[in-house]
Each structure stands twice: as structure tokens, then as C-alpha cells.
Chain A
Amino acid sequence: MNERTTLSTGVTPRFSEEKLQEIEKIFQRYPADRRQSAVMPILHLAQREFGGWLSREALDYVAGLINMPPIRVYEVATFYTMYNLQPVGRYHVQACTNISCWLCGSDQVMDALKNKLKIGVGHTSEDKRFTLAEVECLGACVNAPMMQINDDYYENLTTDKVVEIIDRLP
């Protein structure tokens, strides 16, 4: 993935009233003079709300909500790999290649994914359905190898199973 900068869409997204209330609740989890602590859950919410990734405008919008300088939000958003700073497809396919999964055959899983989706790691398919990512241990080593698609874990993978799972996606 291009790590150099954030993408600007030119449009500032906005949370709905309902989500703004949710954000108020998030703020309440932290002491009143530590509102900035809420940056991570709010970024997370923003990513969910605004199409699975965070544009520069989304980051600036969050910075404004929390009243912290934009650069401090950029620092957080770039530090954690789970904030996507580039558009992702409808399905964000994240295959674990960390040690347990690797020992149990994540290389084959990855190859199967690349073949099936016809894209490389870090890329998004032309129809914008899939983005393929390589991730570190997701804590499901007992059932390695595994992958995560959006919010769901798929475990004990084989090359066939991978193809089947992808095919079954709506």
C-alpha cells in the first residue's frame, strides 16, 4: 500500500445524529479533560461509517470533533495498520501469515486467494469487490491458518475452502 500520504476525496463526510450520540457516549468513557483518548474508537467508528476507510477529510473531521490538531490524528491513524487510509473493496480479505498460520500453510492460502481474486497483496480488484491484505496474528492460532473478511473470521482454511468461501460471498 502507498504509505506516503492520505488520500483526499474533496468531500467532508459527516456522522448522522445517531452516531454523534454514540460518540458522546464514547467520550463519557474517558475523564472530561482527556477527551483525546477517544480518538481510537471514534476513528474506528468513522471507518465503519465512511466506507471502510479513512480519507484525509474523514481524519480532519474526526480531529475537529475531538478538538485535537489534525497531525495528532494522522499519527494515530498511521500507527495502527487496521485503519485503512486507502479505499478498500466491499470485502476486505485479510489473510494471516504470522508464524502459526504460516506453519500450517498460510502460503498456500495466500496463493489461492491471489489466484482466485486475481489481485496481489495490497491491491483492490477492478470491480471494487475485494481488497487483499496480509496481516499479523489475529489471535486465532488454534485454528490456523485463518483469514478475516470484514468482521468475520474463517478458520482451518485449505485452498479449496478459500475458493468456496469467496464464491459464497453475496
Chain B
Amino acid sequence: MATVIIDGKEIDVKAGTTIMEAAKLLDIYIPHFCYHPKLPIAGNCRMCLVEVEKMPKPVISCAMPVNDGMVVKTDSEMVRTARKGVMEFLLINHPLDCPVCDQGGECSLQDLAMKYGPDRSRFHDHKRHVPNYDLGPIIETEMNRCIHCTRCIRFSEDVSGVEQMGAVYRGDHMQVGPFVESRLDSELTGNLAELCPVGALNFKPFHFQARGWELKHADGICSHCSVGCHTRMDHLDGRILRVMSRSWNEGNETWLCDKGRFALDGLANERLTAPMVRASQGGELKKVSWPEALDQAAKILKSVKPEEVAGLASDAVQGGEELFAFQDLMRNVLGSGHIDHRLRQRDFSADELPLTRADLLMNTPLASLNGADAIVLVGFDPRFETPILNIRLRRATQAGARVVSVGARKLNTNLLNVTEVVVAPGGEVARLNAALQALDHDEACAEDPVAALLKGAKKPVLLLGEGANVHPEAEALRRVSVALLDKVGGIGPNWNGYNRVAARANAAAAQDLGVVPHRGAGYTRLERMGMNASQILEAAASGQVKVLFLLGVDPLDEALDRDLARRALSKARVIYLGAFYGSAAQKAEVVLAGLAPGERPMTLTNGEGRVQRSARAVNGPLEAKEDWRILRALSDRFAAPLGYNDLEALRKKMAASDHRYDLSRLGPGESAMACDHSPVTRGLPVTVSAAAESGAAMQLLMVSSFYRDDPVAARSKVMGQLARDGRLRIHPDDASGLAIVQDGLVRVLSGERKIEVRADLDRRVPHGVVIGDLGRGENATRELGDYSNGYPRVSLVALPG
């Protein structure tokens, strides 16, 4: 410990703390540009000079560690003179074009120049002029404004792991940028613009959209993946223009990924603005009043028996409020138990088991992932499923942790020390089981990469990703993962390394609040199990289910089997409640216009099980209404309406059914609750099916496209520029055998079904496998999908053109 006195205030800090950080603890602001709490120290802007007693010259506080007894002055005459000098130099080459700079009004340089800058320049030479670069769809550059703080370079190197930014030439010829024009190949590029203290790096989608001081702010939670990053939605005139990060030490620190930041333009496309009803089969949708639409919906629902109604909900765009009200309505008002949100899951066998939250969500808090020393990824591509979680894993690997990734494809990863164990599609269970057996024998253990990694690890983590969750033997895979981790002591009261990471933002809330056929809200057991997502679609296609009630979900674009979804939607009568005029609304008889994230207060539960609240930033379009209120109003047309009339009452009801949704129980300083460390279902028998056979045909692996994975992102133009979706990835060797060329058209056939897509040759794809994005619309890979067949065998034909 060291005791320091800063500006007359005394504080005890850990030895090694810098003066800057000690001052921060005292709420003393020291001007700075290059210092950033989450980046390595550079000490090159010199703005943070302070006076230390007994030192002859001012020192930079961001890099100077405190000493016991140090006396620091942050605002003495010496300090002010020094800062004025630094500022004069910084401004020599600065273009001073604040009036046309996006950063104007929220610029550190502008603010500090007001305090320390000279009122006129003594510099008579030419200012330097440096080139701009096109860094891709997110970042706009105006490099003349750069003050060489190197934050962007340190971020690229340290956090994003994509070293493309650098400083070339030297002295006053120094230029920051990639030198050779190139698009930044990272999912985290938006952070560069956020951390640039001046207007050198700006947001391209926000360029010239508004001035900082005109914007209003609302605190949000990102709804684009299960990390649940803390955001600030900046809005003006009813439009969200920009999403910035809010600092959250246990989660996103100060970062956001590009999807979380700029998928928002998708909110403005294909929106439903009023309720609509279709007068006759095949007729046009007509705008009607709310009572008419609700009457019509009620009429349809009443026209069939309760068990002939089924509900599907989106776990990507709906808040906990809607999810809770939806299952409440389905079960208690309409009397149907057929409700689900898992349209991409294949294996529902675990529904028979009393699984808990600890089985279904993450058990290692995000903040603790940095501390892991051994990381096993199972069917998980953390970088392109949960980018901010991936930063945590990267930090762990920077500290020496090793990674083994078990999956059917190689990853485009920025983690260090990675061993990739690529298995034939479906072979993960057998692979992990072999590791489990190997743990008993020293020799075998040394040879098995997974066993060798886990053996002796003190803080092992195992993360099941989307590839594991939608695995045809997901439950077997989950069990063997639990057993494996359990065997090496990775599941205990002090360290629980078992994590099932859902990709979707509110999948956890859907589980908690009972939007599943086998459990009620709060993990209550049900008398009778309803039908799961795949059964619901089958039953709708066969006519057994007569009415499909869809909450924010487009089965054509979400279900694994597009063909089945198509048959279901054309056979059943469809009521759609949601924000977008998508494939479901186009088929629906009644369309109830709901709201999208950012337009309503929402409860979002992240992958850790942390319950978080996102505020409303803007109003929805025209007559669209908050989704749960629509459900509430609809329930009025039935014998036992829903028992809540305002948001507070609804949230009380949610909290009563699952105490984790009672945020008033939190202590001071707690932001929300993570998962409780209750032990997962251990000791269940591990079942292994025969190893996946390999045949002559290619196997199709379907993955979701990160930048297009939810209804908002799918409609975003910016995401469209980032995604390379709709392509079929194939190994160049396999491709050349089939005369398939890069970007060439390929017909993919599986039984009766076929699609035509463009090829993308990629060495990361294993031999004998082709990888397609699940995709949307015609020719999406999901046309070939099918719930019972995990990895369809396909044949490929190269087409001209």
C-alpha cells in the first residue's frame, strides 16, 4: 500500500497504481488523451502532466506509479504552463475544423483547448496533410485531425487482435492508419471511433447525421446477442442515430461489437405501422382499428379447440415482458400448452428432464472468464456469436490460457494458443467421450488434446455454443461436457466452468419465463407437456394445429426447416404479433403491429442469467403498440383476462413467478444478478451414438450468419455490408474436383430439395463438408434443413454464370 496526497487529499492505494488512477479514485480529473482505462499505457500525448513535490520537472501521471508519501499537484502554476505548452504543440498541425467535425461538442481536444489552448497560433508554416483511408462500412476517417495518441493502434493490437492500424513514418511525418488501404477485418471496429479522442475516426453511418449536443440519450441493453452489453442509445427526433457503449466492468467494459452498434438501421425497414386484417383467404391485408383487429384475432382463436392453437415466440427481439405475457396468455387464457421459442433446436430429448438454469445458461460470470486457464469450446465460435465474451476469452489466452476448440469447422479466431480439433459433423459427442475415457489413463490423456488440456487445469471452462445447442444430439453432448468438466473438478462451489451459451439475446428469459412446452415460468413443472417447436410446425402442416400465434417470429426465416415452415404457414391460420412486415406477416390473417427494441422498456436476460432492463428511447411507428399491452387487450375478449394493466404490475407478476426478476432484491452497487452457482445435473448416464459415418456425398453444415442473425440485423443495410452471407463455403480442393470456382453459382441438391447459391472457397472448411449460412428468403440454406436430419447429404453441381 502507498499513501499519496493529491491536491491536498490523502488516499491509500495499492503499490503500482498510477497517479492518474489514484486521482480518479479521488474524483480528481486529470486532462488526458492517450490514457484509456482498458488499454495498455502509452504515455505519448503528454497532456496529463502533473507536478510531484521533489521532482524537478512535471511528470506524466498516466504512467507514473505512486510512491508512498508522494505529494501531487494537478493544478499548480507549473502544471498549467506545461499543459499550455503541450496543447500549443497539439494544435500546430490540427486543422481546427470543429464546425464540420462529427466529434465537435464531444471532443476531448476541443474541450481541453478551451481551457489550455492559446487564442491564436504562432505557427506560420504549412500544416501537415495526411491521407485518409477507406476502412470499411463502419469507420470514416479524417486523419488530419489525428493527434497520434495511438489508442486505435493499441486497441487493434491488444483487444481486437487484428493488427491493421499502425503509425508509419516518424516525427511530424507520422501517419496513423493501415498504410495500405484495407478494410478493417474485425467485428469490433466501431470501438475505434468511440475511443478516438478527436474526430479522426468517426462512425460512417452516423457521419453528418447530428451534432452531439442535440442528441438525447437512453440507457439500453443490446439485444443482438446473449452478452447483453450496456449501451446508450443516442436519439433525435424519434430516431435512434447511434449506439454508444456504457461502461460496465463486469461485462462489456467500454466496448461494443459492430452488430450491437450499427444494426439499428434495420429498425426502420419493413415496419408494421398499424393493425391489419385479411378479409378472405388470399385477399389483401387491410388496415383496421385496434378493436377490430383484436376482435378478429379472438374470433379465430375461439373458433378452434384450445389444443389446436400453438404459439411460437422470438428470443431475439422480444422482451421478458412479452415473453411472460405470451406464455401466460397461451396457457391461462387460451388453454394451450403448445408454446416454444427454440426454432433452431433439433434435439428436444432434454425436455423430459428437470433441467435447471445452471444446465441451460452460463455458470462462469463473464468477468471471471479472464481468469480461466483452460478453455474448451464445443461447437462454439465465440468471436462471431458473442464478440464481447470473446474479448474475455482472449484476455485469458493473453494471460497464458490454452484453448481447444471441438467442432465441425475451423474458426476464424483471434484467440491465442488455440488447438482446433475438427470432427466430422456430429462427431463432437464421440470426441468428448473419448476425452472423458482418456482422463483415466495417463498415456491416453497425454495424447488427447481435450483431456490433456483439462487435466491439471485449475480454472477450466467449457463453453457450449450454437453448434452444440442445435446439435442433433445436443443433450448427449451437454451431458458428456458436464461429465468431462466434473471429472476434472471444474464444477464446484468456488469455480463452475460449465457454460451453455445461447446466441440469442433473450433466450435465457424465454427459458426462465416458460416459453417452452415443458415448463412454466420460473421452472415450474407442468402437468402435461405441450408440443415443441418442431412438433408444432409438423402439427400445423398436417392440420392438427389449426391456429399459429406468432410473437415476433418469422418461421420461414427462423425455423431450421424452411419447407416445413412454409407448409405450416399455408395450412394453419396465422396471427402475427410483431414489429416487421416479414414473411410471417405476409401470410397472416391478422397482423398486430408491435414494437421493436429501443421503442419499449424491455427486460433482457443475458447468457449469464443476469436480468437487465433496457429503457425506451423512441416511440414506435404510428399506431403500433407495446406488445404485451396488445396481448393484454386481446385477453379481454376471453373469460379470464391477463391480470395486469401496467408495466409495474406485469413485472411484479414476473418477479413472483421467478424471483430473479425481482430487481429490488439487489444490494447497493449490484447491477443485477448473474446465475446462481447451483450444481448442474451431474451423474447422468452419457450416451454415445455410433460415430458419424462418412460417405461419398458432401455433408451440409448450417450455421447462422452473425451479422444477419436477428430480425433487426437482418434488415440492416450496414450489416448487409459487413456480412458475406448467402454463400456456400467449400474447401478449394473439394471445389476444384467439382469444377466450382470462387463466386461461381452452385446448385445444391438434397433429395427433392434444391437451392442455388454462390460459392466461397475457404481453406477453413473441412474436406467433405460444405458450410451454408442458414439465411433468409429464397435460396436460403435452410431450404435444405430438416429437424430430424442434422447434416443433410448434398450433391453439388457447378452452374454456368
Bound CA–CA A79/B170 (angstroms) = 6
Q: Does A5 contact B (CB under 8 A)?
A: yes
**B168 to chain A: which residues have CB within 8 Å?**
74-75, 78-79
Bound CA–CA A72/B167 (angstroms) = 9
For B149-185 the 0/1 string (1 means CB < 8 A from A) is: 0000000000000011111111001000011100000
**A6 to chain B: which residues have CB within 8 Å?**
179-180
Taking a contact as CB atoms closer than 8 A, the residue among A3, A71, A79 that contacts B178 in the complex is A71
Contact B180 A56 (CB under 8 A): yes
Knowing A56-B180, A74-B179, A78-B168, the reply to whether A69 touches B163 (Cβ < 8 A) is yes
Contact B163 A75 (CB under 8 A): no
For A1-21 the 0/1 string (1 means CB < 8 A from B) is: 001111000000000000000
Tally of chain B residues near chain A (CB < 8 A): 13
Bound CA–CA A78/B163 (angstroms) = 17
Bound CA–CA A160/B163 (angstroms) = 51
Contact B180 A5 (CB under 8 A): yes
**B164 to chain A: which residues have CB within 8 Å?**
69, 71
Instruction: Give the total number of A-B pairs whose CB atoms are below 8 A apart.
Output: 35
Taking a contact as CB atoms closer than 8 A, the residue among B166, B167, B169 that contacts A3 in the complex is B169
Chain A at the B interface: SS class = helix
For A65-91 the 0/1 string (1 means CB < 8 A from B) is: 000011110110011000000000000
Q: Does B131 contact A (CB under 8 A)?
A: yes
Minimum CB distance partner of A77 in chain B: B168
Bound CA–CA A56/B178 (angstroms) = 13
Contact B180 A74 (CB under 8 A): yes
Contact B169 A71 (CB under 8 A): no
Bound CA–CA A14/B670 (angstroms) = 59
Contact A75 B167 (CB under 8 A): yes
**A75 to chain B: which residues have CB within 8 Å?**
166-168, 179
CB distance from A56 to the nearest CB of B (A): 6
Contact A5 B131 (CB under 8 A): yes
Tally of chain A residues near chain B (CB < 8 A): 13
Contact A74 B170 (CB under 8 A): no
**B169 to chain A: which residues have CB within 8 Å?**
3, 78-79
**B131 to chain A: which residues have CB within 8 Å?**
4-5
Bound CA–CA A71/B178 (angstroms) = 6
CB distance from A84 to the nearest CB of B (A): 14
Which A residues between 115 and 148 are near B, CB-CB below 8 angstroms? Answer: none
**B178 to chain A: which residues have CB within 8 Å?**
71
Bound CA–CA A70/B169 (angstroms) = 15
**A69 to chain B: which residues have CB within 8 Å?**
163-164
**A4 to chain B: which residues have CB within 8 Å?**
131
Contact B170 A71 (CB under 8 A): no
CB distance from A74 to the nearest CB of B (A): 4
Most buried by A among B164, B167, B179: B179
CB distance from B791 to the nearest CB of A (A): 35
CB distance from B93 to the nearest CB of A (A): 15
Minimum CB distance partner of A79 in chain B: B170
Most buried by A among B167, B169, B170, B178: B169
Which A residues between 22 and 71 are near B, CB-CB below 8 angstroms? Answer: 56, 69-71
Contact A71 B173 (CB under 8 A): no
CB distance from B413 to the nearest CB of A (A): 16
Bound CA–CA A3/B180 (angstroms) = 12
Bound CA–CA A71/B169 (angstroms) = 12
Knowing A75-B168, A78-B168, A78-B169, the reply to whether A5 touches B163 (Cβ < 8 A) is no
Minimum CB distance partner of B167 in chain A: A75
CB distance from A57 to the nearest CB of B (A): 11
Bound CA–CA A78/B166 (angstroms) = 11
Which B residues between 105 and 142 are near A, CB-CB below 8 angstroms? Answer: 131
**B166 to chain A: which residues have CB within 8 Å?**
71-72, 74-75
CB distance from B631 to the nearest CB of A (A): 53
CB distance from B144 to the nearest CB of A (A): 13
Bound CA–CA A4/B130 (angstroms) = 8
CB distance from A77 to the nearest CB of B (A): 8
Bound CA–CA A70/B131 (angstroms) = 19
Bound CA–CA A71/B165 (angstroms) = 7
**B179 to chain A: which residues have CB within 8 Å?**
5-6, 71, 74-75, 78
The 4 closest A-B pairs by CB, nearest first: A69-B163, A71-B166, A78-B168, A74-B179
17 new A-B contacts, CB < 8 A, other than A71-B166, A79-B169, are: A3-B173, A5-B179, A6-B180, A56-B180, A69-B163, A69-B164, A71-B164, A71-B179, A72-B166, A74-B168, A74-B180, A75-B166, A75-B168, A78-B169, A78-B170, A79-B168, A79-B170
Q: Can you report 28 residue pairs joining A to B where beta carbons are below 8 Å apart?
A: A3-B173, A4-B131, A5-B180, A6-B179, A6-B180, A56-B180, A69-B163, A69-B164, A70-B180, A71-B163, A71-B164, A71-B165, A71-B166, A71-B178, A71-B179, A72-B163, A72-B166, A74-B168, A74-B179, A74-B180, A75-B166, A75-B167, A75-B179, A78-B168, A78-B169, A78-B170, A79-B168, A79-B169
